[in-house]
Amino acid sequence: MTPSPPENLLRRLAGVNPTTAFIAALVVFLAGLFLPGIVGAALLFLLGVALVALTFTTWPVQTPALRTVRLILLALLFAAAVAKAL
């Protein structure tokens, strides 16, 4: 029996090197900050959506303090995306 698509995706994500994932997210974040206008805002928004999906997936195993920090950082990221779009 083959794993369902979400389970297969989670298995692939679990195999990603954390340093590589951090650097990739940092590159997208910095590109979003430095690219002009709507292009930068779109990159920040896409990064935020990906991080929301990751946070939602890992929510049950996070401590309440970590949940709070992640929600604050996500709110700041989306605020930056909106500010960049304006």
- What is the DSSP annotation of 37-86? HHHHHHHHHHHHHHHHHHHHHHGGGS-HHHHHHHHHHHHHHHHHHHHHH-
The whole-number average pLDDT for the span 71-76 is 94
CA–CA gap between residue 62 and residue 69 (Å, rounded): 11
pTM flag (> 0.85): no
**31-44 pLDDT, tens digit each:** 999 999 899 999 99
Confidence category of residue 15, pLDDT binned at 50, 70, 90: confident
